[in-house]
C-alpha cells in the first residue's frame, strides 16, 4: 500500500505547494510517464512488508490470495481511472480546496485534523517496521502478533531514536524528503524481488503447483486474527487505498494530468507493490513458519511474530535489513510530512518545523505500541472507512448535481463555513455502517462501499432540501 496509500513524497513532487487555490494551468500539465514511476515507487514500501505476512496469518487459500488480489487491485485501478482522475482533470483543484468550496472551511478543518491523526498512526506503524530491522544487531526481542504494549527498554530506545531521526528529516521540508525517497524506492523494489526469489528457493518451489501449495486450500487463522475468504481479499485490497481513490485524496495528484487516462498508471503501484510485493513478503513469512521457533509458537497455541526485519534478514541478509529500514522510511517520513501539512492547515501561523516535529512525536509514540503495525489490515480498513464517504460528496456532486437540481460548490456561493448537507450525510452513513460492523461483527471493508454510496445519496437529498429553504 504503501503507504496503504497514502500520499507520498513522490506525490508531493507533482502536487506540492503549487496552485493550491486555483486550477492548474495547461503549461504545468504532465504526461502519463510522470505518474507511472511515482505510483510504482509509492506502493512498494514499508506497509508491504507487514501486509503480505498478515494475509498468511488470516488463513487465506492460494485461490483467494492470488485471484482475489488480481480482482481487488483491478477495482482500485478502475476507481482511480474513472472517478478520481476523471474529476481531477475536469476541475484541476486540490482535494482540500474543492472540499472547502463544497463543505465550508470549518468542515475542512475537521477533515484535516482526522487526516493528520490517521497519518500519524500510519507513520507510527512504519516506525515499528523499521525498528524490527534496527533491533537485530542488539538481539532485541521482537514484538508478537498479539502484542499491544512495548516489550522492553531496548524496543523503546530504538523506536524513539528512529522516530527522532525521521521527524527531523521530515521537518526539513519536501526537498529533503523527496531526495531521500527517490533513490530508496528502486532499492526497495529490488529487495522485494530478491526476497521473493530466495524465499521460493528456501521453500523448494520448482513448479507452479509447488507455489500454489504454499497456501493450498487455506487454513484456520492464527489466534486473534480474522479468517480471510476470497471476498475479504477482493474487498480489502480494493479499499486499502480507499481514501486515495473513492475518497478523492488523489485529486491533488491527477489535477496535473493532461488526460484522465493517466489514471491507468496506478496499475504500476497495484501490481508491483500490492501484488508482487505482498506475495513476496508472504513468502518470507511462509519460510519462517517452517522454522523451529515458529513451530514452537504454534504448538503452544500462539501466533508466531510478524517482524519484517528478521524475515528479510533470513532471506537476503544485511541487504534485507537495510531494505526494511528504508521501506519504513519511505512510508513514515513523507507521511509525517503530510501530517504536518494537515495540522498546519488548521493552525496556518504556526511554524512548519515545530508542527512537523509535533506530528513526528505523535507518530513515534504510536510506534511504541506494536498493535498499530500488527493490526495493519484492520487499521487500513478503518482509515478508508472514515475518509471515503467524504469523497462520495465530491463524486455525487460532480456527476449528479445538474440532474438532481442542486447548486455546485454551495458553501462557497452561500458564504457558509459548514454545509450541513455534507456533515449529516457523512455522520449518518459513518454511524449507521460502523454500528452494523460492530454489532453484527461485519468486516469493516465490507461496509465501506455501502457507506460511500449512502453518503453520496444523502448529500444530494439534504442539499436539495437545504438549498430549497435558502
Give residue 293's pLDDT band: very low, low, confident or very high (50, 70, 90).
confident
Q: What is the pLDDT of residue 349?
A: 78
**Per-position b or e across 88-100, b if 16+ CB within 10 A of its CB:** bbebbbbbbbbbb
CATH superfamily name and code, 2-377: Amino acid/polyamine transporter I (1.20.1740.10)
Residue 29 has pLDDT above 90, yes or no: no
The DSSP code sequence of 249-302 is: TTHHHHTTBSSGGGGGGHHHHHHIIIIIIHHHHHHHHHHHTTSHHHHHHHHTT-
- Alpha carbons 145 and 131: distance in angstroms, whole number: 15
**Does pLDDT of 431 surpass 60?**
yes
pLDDT band at 439 (very low <50, low <70, confident <90, very high): very high
Least confident segment among 422-426, 435-439, 466-470: 466-470
**Mean pLDDT of the 180-195 span:** 80
| pLDDT score, position 428 | 97
For cell 513478503, the residue is 281
> Distance (Å, rounded) from C-alpha 274 to C-alpha 277?
6
pLDDT, position 376: 82
Average pLDDT rounded to a whole number, residues 358-367: 92
| Collapsed DSSP state (helix, strand, coil) of residue 30 | strand
* Confidence (pLDDT) at 176: 59
Could you give the CA distance from residue 416 to residue 127 in angstroms, rounded to a whole number?
A: 40
The cell 514511476 sits on which residue? Answer: 37
Q: What is the mean pLDDT of residues 274-297?
A: 90
By mean pLDDT, which of 153-162, 186-195, 343-352 is the weakest? 343-352
Name the one residue in this structure whose C-alpha cell is 519462517: 288
Q: What pLDDT was estimated at residue 204?
A: 92
Q: Is the pLDDT of residue 99 over 60?
A: yes
Position 15 confidence tier, pLDDT thresholds 50, 70, 90: very low
Q: Is residue 97's pLDDT more than 70?
A: yes
Whether 440 contacts 377, CB under 8 Å: no
For the ranges 42-46, 78-82, 204-208, 330-334, the one whose mean pLDDT is highest: 78-82
340/125 Cα distance (integer angstroms): 17
Angstrom distance (rounded) from CA 144 to CA 196: 23
User: How far out from the chain centre does Cα 52 lie?
Assistant: 14
pLDDT bracket for residue 10 (50, 70, 90):
very low
Q: What is the mean pLDDT of residues 144-162?
A: 88
Question: Over the stretch 101-142, which tens digit does the pLDDT of each residue have?
Answer: 999 989 988 888 888 898 899 889 889 988 988 888 888 888
More confident residue, 178 or 239: 239
What pLDDT is stored for residue 12 in this prediction?
42
Res. 3: pLDDT tops 50: no
Higher pLDDT, 175 or 150: 150
Position 180 scores a pLDDT of 60
How far apart (Å, rounded) are the C-alpha atoms in residues 244 and 79?
10
Query: From CA 126, how far away is CA 339, in angstroms rounded?
Result: 14
**Tell me, what's the pLDDT at 41?**
66
Confidence tier at 155 by pLDDT (50, 70, 90): very high
Give the residue extent of every domain in the chain: 2-377
- Per DSSP, the residues of 99-127 read HHHHH-HHHHHHHHHHHHHHHHHHHHHHH
Crossing angle for the helix pair 308-316 and 46-57, nearest 10 degrees?
A: 100
175-189, 255-269, 302-316, 335-349: least confident range:
175-189
Output the pTM of the full model: 0.85
pLDDT tier at 315, thresholds 50, 70, 90: confident
Amino acid at each position: 500500500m504503501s503507504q496503504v496509500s497514502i500520499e507520498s513524497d513522490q506525490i508531493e513532487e507533482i502536487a506540492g505547494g503549487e496552485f493550491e487555490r486555483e486550477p492548474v494551468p495547461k503549461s504545468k500539465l504532465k504526461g502519463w510517464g510522470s505518474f507511472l514511476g511515482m505510483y510504482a515507487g509509492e506502493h512498494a514500501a514499508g506497509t508491504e512488508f507487514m501486509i503480505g505476512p498478515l494475509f498468511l496469518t488470516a488463513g487465506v487459500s492460494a485461490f483467494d490470495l492470488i485471484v482475489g488480489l488480481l480482482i481487488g487491485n483491478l477495482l482500485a485501478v478502475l476507481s482511480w481511472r474513472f472517478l478520481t482522475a476523471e474529476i481531477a482533470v475536469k476541475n484541476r483543484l486540490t482535494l482540500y480546496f474543492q472540499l472547502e468550496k463544497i463543505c465550508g472551511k470549518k468542515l475542512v478543518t475537521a477533515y484535516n485534523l482526522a487526516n493528520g491523526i490517521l497519518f500519524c498512526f500510519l507513520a507510527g506503524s512504519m516506525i515499528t517496521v523499521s525498528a524490527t530491522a534496527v533491533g537485530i544487531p542488539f538481539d532485541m526481542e521482537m514484538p508478537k502478533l498479539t502484542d499491544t504494549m512495548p516489550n522492553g527498554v531496548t524496543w523503546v530506545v530504538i523506536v524513539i531514536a528512529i522516530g527522532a531521526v525521521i521527524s527531523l528529516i521530515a521537518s526539513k521540508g519536501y526537498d529533503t524528503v523527496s531526495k531521500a525517497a527517490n533513490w530508496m524506492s528502486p532499492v526497495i523494489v529490488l529487495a522485494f524481488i530478491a526476497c521473493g526469489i530466495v524465499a521460493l528457493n528456501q521453500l523448494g518451489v520448482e513448479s507452479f503447483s509447488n507455489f500454489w501449495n504454499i497456501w493450498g486450500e487455506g487454513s484456520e487463522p492464527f489466534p486473534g486474527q480474522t479468517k480471510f475468504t476470497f471476498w475479504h481479499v477482493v474487498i480489502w485490497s480494493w479499499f486499502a487505498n480507499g481514501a486515495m481513490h473513492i475518497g478523492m485524496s488523489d485529486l491533488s495528484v491527477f489535477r496535473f494530468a493532461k488526460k484522465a487516462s493517466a489514471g491507468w498508471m496506478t496499475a504500476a503501484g497495484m501490481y508491483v507493490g500490492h501484488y508482487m510485493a505482498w506475495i513476496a513478503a508472504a513468502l518470507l513469512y511462509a519460510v519462517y513458519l517452517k522454522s523451529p521457533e515458529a513451530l514452537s509458537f504454534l504448538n503452544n497455541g500462539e501466533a508466531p511474530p510478524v517482524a519484517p526485519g528478521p524475515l528479510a534478514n533470513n532471506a537476503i541478509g544485511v541487504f534485507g535489513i537495510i531494505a526494511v529500514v528504508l521501506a519504513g522510511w519511505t512510508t513514515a517520513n513523507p507521511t509525517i510530512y503530510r501530517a504536518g501539512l494537515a495540522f498546519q492547515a488548521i493552525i496556518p501561523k504556526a511554524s512548519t518545523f515545530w508542527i512537523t516535529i509535533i506530528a513526528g512525536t505523535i507518530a513515534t509514540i504510536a510506534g511504541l505500541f506494536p498493535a498499530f503495525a500488527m493490526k495493519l489490515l484492520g487499521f487500513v480498513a478503518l482509515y478508508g472507512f472514515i475518509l471515503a464517504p467524504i469523497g462520495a460528496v465530491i463524486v455525487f456532486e460532480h456527476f449528479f448535481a445538474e440532474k438532481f437540481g442542486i447548486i455546485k460548490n454551495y458553501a462557497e456561493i452561500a458564504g457558509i463555513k459548514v454545509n450541513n448537507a455534507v456533515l449529516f450525510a457523512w455522520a449518518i452513513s459513518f454511524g449507521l455502517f460502523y454500528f452494523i460492523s460492530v454489532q453484527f461483527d461485519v468486516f469493516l471493508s465490507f461496509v465501506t462501499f455501502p457507506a460511500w454510496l449512502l453518503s453520496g445519496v444523502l448529500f444530494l437529498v439534504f442539499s436539495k432540501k437545504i438549498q430549497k429553504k435558502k
